[in-house]
Structure 1
Amino acid sequence: MLSRVEGGESRSAVQRYRRAECSRELFDLQYGVASRRQLYAVGVGRWDVRAELRAGRWARRGPQSISNVTGVLCERGRWWSALIEVGSRAALDGVTALQAAGLTGFIEPVVHISMPKSGRPRRWPGVVVHETRRRSPADLVATGIPRVRPAVAAVRAALWAASDRQAALILTMATQQRLVTVATLTEAMTAVRRHRRRKFLLRVLVDLQGGVQSMAELDFARMCRTAALPEPDRQVTHDLGDGWAVVDNEWTEYDLVVEIEGVHHLHGPVTIADALRQNSLTVRRSAVLRIPVLGLRTEPARFLNQVRDALIARGWQPG
């Protein structure tokens, strides 16, 4: 190692080179961040760390985390620093673990980290630490930044979400972005025995599963009865001239159609077919309301009020 240093260089330059060589791979693997213990383990001593910090070549990110980046850390670097500061058994969890797995389009202002109940975590600004008895070694990804598997992370993110709507959105986004499947989510849900949101999440998983549209339609019919609305006819067939269309719910007397749309309706070919069918029905004077199945779960009252208003506008009189 020393042979690469020019003969005229000072002893301090040799020491800097040695420290850089010892720490380079560690910093590279962890996006510019390492713990003091990790640095000591690869041969960088306490005095070496102090020397680099005094010289401004390294930066102190917290009591335990050191960075060879003196400016702003990237997101993954901030995650590494948070994990180091919280404790040795910390792992990214919830939405943050999903983001580490590739989730995009979901904004979360804090970092979610889980620890076993006996982990004795340290608190750190901008970090929400979840102490849980549910976390097992099998939940963790074997390589890379410490994090739980995407399916486990998605279920926990849904349990920790601020609302049912946000919980449903997280599961839907994770499925649509192919980070998880309904099967792996269902498996992860088996670890949740008691939680106020458990039944709701199980219904969302049913909605996300292809080929179970009829259950949502039955729920809609039940909701209409509960809201004192006339119950629609279901699975009504229409001759469109150039083909046939089957609509989910129709009040023939009032020329009103309500379509319950599952997640599969968001895919390109299905979206186009839906638009063509709706346009054909509208041309024939039927009004078409579209209700996403997750909307039926999270905003039932608002959608039912729209159905009520449409029926009244077309002549229905509440009893």
Structure 2
Amino acid sequence: MFFDVPRDGATALDWLAFEQSGILTTAQATGLLTEGLVRSRIRTGRWRSICRGVLLTGNGRLTRDQQLWVAVLAAGAGAVLAGTTAASEAGVRGLPREPLHVLVPAERRAARAVLRRLPIDMAPVHVHRSSVLPAEHLQLGRPSRTTTARALVDAAGWAPNEAQAQAVLAAGCQQRRVLPGELRDVLAALARVPRRRLIVQTVEDIAGGAEALSEIDFVRLCRRYGLPRPDLQRRRTDAAGRARWLDAYWQAYQLHVEIDGAHHMDVRQWAADMRRQNDVWTAGDRILRFPAWLVRARPAEVAADLRRALTAAGWRPVAPAAPRG
């Protein structure tokens, strides 16, 4: 073990080390022990110096929990886990584990020099600053972090590209870790969040039913090519009385679109998809199927197929208004 679990008769140091996964600041340690005793434990190898001002009350490799504590304690007072790191701690799956993201109040200068000199068994740490960090955006924990909604909005703003920004938001909502309304509340407080327009539009698409990234891309495609917006995740009862959810459906034109992710290539999923497709056809609807990658990579091709199907079903595009003289 890296540190002892407190038992009866445990000291204040034992309890603090337990609460912080064995990671202490030098100030915390010297507040409970003499400076000489702290130096002795480091010199003899009982404790380990991680970086300036941060200690491990043991001598092993850093665990994930210990790395999180190093990140916030090294960043200084007021630092909290944020972005994909905070969202992962809240249970959102599939997000990058590195780097670790930490948020500090704008008026504070984070110890960036310290964080650039971390040991090899420590993940890199990115420190962000914000002038808007109200109490309702914070979640008490060990260590403290931003709420899931704030974490996802920040993660979308900090993402390396727009596709990853959308993926983060979609993951949180699809996994039922956050509601679109909670994301809207955070956006209302963050007037200058990066990619604000994209995030707002993505949240609205999610609220309309497009919870998977491929479905969000599909809604954007319809908007871009002047196609009517479909209903998303429409509930339907099949011939056996089971509830089914349609990815995209135009009721007026009886057109149903399925957007297939990679899991649809699995043999068992493929067979289930065929049965569902047959059920749609026998009920009188048309069905089109597109792989998610095609929706993103060749949107014009997908839009052309949709336009032909909708036109065959009776849809007529609205003619643009004549220019005024």
Q: 1:151 aligns with which of 149, 152, 155?
A: 149
- Provide the rounded CA distance (Å) in 1 between the counterparts of 2:218 and 2:93: 31
Matches within 5 A, 1:101-180: 101-123=90-112, 124-125=115-116, 126-180=124-178
Matches within 5 A, 1:32-71: 32-41=22-31, 43-71=32-60
> 2:81, 2:146 within 8 Å by CA — same for their partners in 1?
yes
Counterpart position of 2:249: 248
> Taking structure 2 as the reference length, what is the TM-score of the superposition?
0.68
Cα distance per residue 1:212-239 (max 9 Å; x no partner) = 89x99886544334xxxxx68978xxxx
1:180 partner SS:
coil
Percent of matched pairs sharing the same residue: 24
Counterpart position of 1:278: 277
Residues 1:167 and 1:205: Cα distance change in structure 2 (over 3 Å)? same
> Taking structure 1 as the reference length, what is the TM-score of the superposition?
0.69
- The structure with more helix, counted as a fraction of residues: 1
Q: CA deviation at 1:118?
A: 1.1
1:190 partner SS:
helix
The answer to whether 1:224 aligns with 2:220 is no
Paired AA for residue 150 in structure 2: V
Q: 1:98 aligns with which of 64, 76, 87?
A: 87
1:119 partner SS:
coil
Counterpart position of 1:288: 288
Q: CA deviation at 1:287?
A: 6.2
Q: 1:304 aligns with which of 276, 283, 300?
A: 300
The answer to whether 1:26 aligns with 2:16 is yes
- Provide the rounded CA distance (Å) in 2 between the counterparts of 1:233 and 1:188: 27
Residues 1:194 and 1:285: Cα distance change in structure 2 (over 3 Å)? closer
- Provide the rounded CA distance (Å) in 1 between the counterparts of 2:12 and 2:217: 59
> 2:23, 2:69 within 8 Å by CA — same for their partners in 1?
yes
Q: CA deviation at 1:68?
A: 1.6
Q: Which has the larger radius of gyration?
A: 1
Q: CA deviation at 1:159?
A: 1.0
User: How many residues matched?
Assistant: 269
- Provide the rounded CA distance (Å) in 2 between the counterparts of 1:272 and 1:307: 27
Q: 1:203 aligns with which of 201, 204, 209?
A: 201
2:181 partner SS:
helix
Paired AA for residue 289 in structure 1: R
